[in-house]
């Protein structure tokens, strides 16, 4: 029987992020997908600023940024007349603590392709046409049935989407609702007669059609109300029906839709599981929560589920942490899933109201929540402090970036450069921060002193972001685990021992 440490079921953005994070830690990982070929349809088309930070840490940010666009204009029309044009992220510029202040428009298939290539760099390839049929848990692991063959894994993670086989095999259901009115026809299509500098949107007479240029392609993603049959039932989307919807809702002469490369029907669901783990089996991404796409949080939340779980599995498998650490995945991510359902449902209502107003549209939901930069885990047992500090980020908060300069070489260096990789980062900031101990197990923690003679914080950005005279332990996923008094450096080793 073949063996692996982790079997990742499903090679969407969630499974690929997890597989990359595990593979870079040296974990033996297999990733399977039942699909016979990689998907080519756009589906998700936006990465949040926080997802961009994750992809920076995974070493693919340059390729991701080169494949997408920022500041896409939202252009709304009545017929051929432009009635409103907005950039919902106008004025959002990089700051010392936030290098990626705006989301990136990029088709999901391209994100997946870049992650697959990264994974291949670690010697792991997605096993296509390989569906999980079932599994059985036992004391030491999970025996999975793939095709006819059994595979022995120490852990199995179901990243297998909304219809998750893993979730069903665990006997878990997605609880919530499927509002019956919310159905949308979606596709990737080419369009003559429309510019590629904006997301074109029409809302009229109870119908809608939106055409968003997909960067790096000749196609637009079309999202439209369904055409209905005589009984009012939705008809399968086709090229002719998309054109029919366009002519009815937009009615702009000379615009011709052609070459429909992918089409789908999107049904709004607001559902989640009530647990993310059953012993050695985990659920992540759409397998665990499905919700309205208003705000575009689907792909992004899956990426962050994976990023939360990867380092925990890595530490446990390497023997650096007790299996109890894995319990914090559900402890941290289940409340986030619940928040997500609430916020995306609210956002959907906001959009549905906004489009009734002249010039209103999907940009009505552009709030700072969607950046996911404010997501935090203050309730987690991994968020601890020995020093109380009213200013700066708190345990459980996202660890901000800051520009520094190497005192010896004079080279610029960012905190995010120090965080990049699978390790914890211990920062000793300020004069008293000099008490940072040397590397505590260099595989696990890298220690840096931010102060005279070491990494210079000449402009004071790190001190402003984190406070001075403090020890801050940043988790591998970029959240603050521990805030300690430099007089008690032993608390860092204690924290790590307790994992």
> Cα separation of 394 and 392, whole Å?
6
Site string for ligand FAD, 157-176 (x = CB under 6 A): --xxx---x-----------
> Cα separation of 348 and 362, whole Å?
9
Burial class for 6, CB neighbours closer than 10 Å (0-12, 13-18, 19+): buried
Other C-beta atoms lying within 10 Å of the C-beta of residue 459: 13
Site stretch for ligand FAD (CB under 6 A), options 26-34, 246-254, 381-389, 432-440? 26-34
Of residues 283 and 474, the one with the C-beta less far from ligand FAD: 283
| Least CB distance to ligand FAD at residue 11 (A) | 5
| Least CB distance to ligand FAD at residue 357 (A) | 23
Site for ligand FAD, residues 255 to 284, rule: CB under 6 A: 264, 266
| Least CB distance to ligand FAD at residue 145 (A) | 10
Q: Are strands 183-192 and 220-224 parallel, antiparallel or unpaired?
A: antiparallel
Is 57 an interacting residue with respect to ligand FAD (CB under 6 A)? no
For ligand FAD, which residue of 4, 12, 124, 380 counts as binding (CB under 6 A)? 12
Of residues 221 and 470, the one with the C-beta less far from ligand FAD: 221
Site stretch for ligand FAD (CB under 6 A), options 12-20, 149-157, 167-175, 398-406? 12-20
**Total chain residues near ligand FAD (CB under 6 A):** 34
| Least CB distance to ligand FAD at residue 158 (A) | 8
| Least CB distance to ligand FAD at residue 307 (A) | 13
| CB of 423 closer than 8 Å to CB of 440 | no
Site string for ligand FAD, 99-128 (x = CB under 6 A): ---------x--------------------
Is 375 an interacting residue with respect to ligand FAD (CB under 6 A)? no
Separation in Å, CA 327 to CA 100, 132, 170, 417: 31, 24, 17, 29
Of residues 43 and 280, the one with the C-beta less far from ligand FAD: 43
| CB of 288 closer than 8 Å to CB of 337 | yes
* Structure token digits, residue 122: 């670690």
Of residues 32 and 315, the one with the C-beta less far from ligand FAD: 32
For ligand FAD, which residue of 21, 33, 363, 457 counts as binding (CB under 6 A)? 33
For ligand FAD, which residue of 119, 299, 351, 366 counts as binding (CB under 6 A)? 299
Site stretch for ligand FAD (CB under 6 A), options 8-16, 65-73, 416-424, 437-445? 8-16
| Least CB distance to ligand FAD at residue 59 (A) | 20
Of residues 169 and 445, the one with the C-beta less far from ligand FAD: 169
Task: Name beta bridge partners: 484.
Answer: 471
| Least CB distance to ligand FAD at residue 282 (A) | 12
Of residues 68 and 478, the one with the C-beta less far from ligand FAD: 68
Of residues 9 and 355, the one with the C-beta less far from ligand FAD: 9
Of residues 222 and 426, the one with the C-beta less far from ligand FAD: 222
For ligand FAD, which residue of 18, 24, 46, 292 counts as binding (CB under 6 A)? 46
Site string for ligand FAD, 414-453 (x = CB under 6 A): ----------------------------------------
Is 9 an interacting residue with respect to ligand FAD (CB under 6 A)? yes
Instruction: Report residue 493: phi and psi, to 5°.
Output: -60, -40
Is 215 an interacting residue with respect to ligand FAD (CB under 6 A)? no
Is 68 an interacting residue with respect to ligand FAD (CB under 6 A)? no
> Measuring CA to CA, which residue among 378, 387, 374 is closest to residue 428?
387
> Measuring CA to CA, which residue among 188, 198, 183, 191 is closest to residue 246?
191
Is 289 an interacting residue with respect to ligand FAD (CB under 6 A)? no
Is 201 an interacting residue with respect to ligand FAD (CB under 6 A)? no
CA 446 to chain centre: 25
C-alpha R_g of the chain:
24
| Least CB distance to ligand FAD at residue 186 (A) | 4
Residue written as token pair 């982790």: 6
> Cα separation of 345 and 342, whole Å?
5
Of residues 303 and 482, the one with the C-beta less far from ligand FAD: 303
Site stretch for ligand FAD (CB under 6 A), options 269-277, 293-301, 322-330, 435-443? 293-301
Longest dimension (CA), the chain: 77
User: What residues line the site for ligand FAD (CB under 6 A)?
Assistant: 9-15, 32-35, 43-46, 108, 131-132, 159-161, 165, 186, 264, 266, 285-286, 293, 296-300, 302
């Amino acid at each position: 029987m073949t063996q692996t440490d982790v079997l990742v079921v499903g090679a969407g953005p969630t499974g690929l992020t997890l597989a990359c994070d595990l593979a870079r830690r040296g974990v033996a990982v297999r990733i399977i997908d039942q699909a016979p070929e990689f998907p080519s349809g756009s589906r998700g088309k936006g990465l949040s600023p926080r997802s961009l930070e994750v992809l920076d840490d995974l070493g693919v940010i340059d390729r991701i940024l080169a494949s997408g666009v920022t500041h896409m204009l939202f252009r709304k029309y009545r017929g051929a007349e432009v009635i409103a044009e907005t950039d919902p992220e106008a004025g959002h510029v990089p700051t010392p603590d936030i290098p990626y202040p705006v989301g990136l428009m990029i088709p999901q298939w391209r994100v997946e392709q870049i992650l697959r290539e990264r994974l291949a760099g670690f010697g792991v390839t997605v096993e296509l046409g390989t569906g999980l049929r079932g599994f059985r848990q036992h004391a030491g692991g999970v025996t999975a049935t793939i095709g006819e063959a059994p595979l022995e894994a120490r852990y199995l993670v179901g990243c297998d989407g909304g219809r998750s086989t893993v979730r069903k095999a665990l006997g878990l259901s997605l609880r919530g609702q499927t509002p019956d009115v919310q159905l949308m026809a979606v596709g990737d299509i080419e369009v003559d007669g429309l510019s590629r500098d904006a997301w074109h949107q029409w809302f009229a007479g109870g119908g809608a059609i939106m055409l968003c240029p997909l960067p790096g392609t000749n196609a637009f993603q079309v999202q439209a109300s369904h055409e209905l049959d005589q009984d009012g039932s939705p008809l399968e989307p086709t090229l002719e029906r998309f054109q029919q919807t366009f002519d009815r809702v937009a009615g702009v002469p000379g615009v011709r839709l052609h070459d429909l490369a992918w089409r789908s029907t999107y049904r709004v669901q607001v559902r989640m599981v009530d647990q993310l783990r059953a012993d050695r089996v985990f659920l992540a991404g759409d397998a665990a929560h499905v919700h309205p796409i208003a705000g575009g949080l689907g792909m992004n939340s899956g990426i962050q589920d994976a990023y939360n779980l990867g380092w925990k599995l890595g530490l446990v498998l390497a023997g650096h942490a007790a299996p109890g650490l894995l319990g914090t995945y559900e402890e941290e991510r289940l409340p986030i899933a619940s928040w997500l359902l609430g916020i995306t449902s609210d956002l959907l209502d906001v959009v549905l109201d906004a489009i009734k107003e002249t010039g209103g549209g999907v940009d009505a939901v552009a709030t700072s929540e969607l950046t996911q930069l404010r997501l935090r885990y203050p309730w987690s047992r991994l968020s601890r402090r020995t020093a109380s500090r009213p200013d700066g980020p708190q345990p459980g908060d996202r660890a901000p970036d800051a520009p520094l300069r190497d005192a010896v070489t004079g080279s610029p260096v960012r905190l995010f450069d120090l965080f990049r990789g699978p390790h914890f980062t211990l920062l000793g900031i300020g004069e008293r921060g000099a008490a940072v101990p040397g590397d505590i197990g260099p595989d696990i923690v890298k220690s840096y002193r931010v102060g005279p003679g070491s990494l210079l914080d000449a402009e004071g950005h790190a001190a402003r972001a984190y406070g001075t005279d403090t020890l801050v332990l940043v988790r591998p996923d970029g959240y603050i685990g521990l805030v300690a008094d430099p007089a008690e450096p032993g608390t860092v080793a204690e924290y790590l021992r307790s994992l």
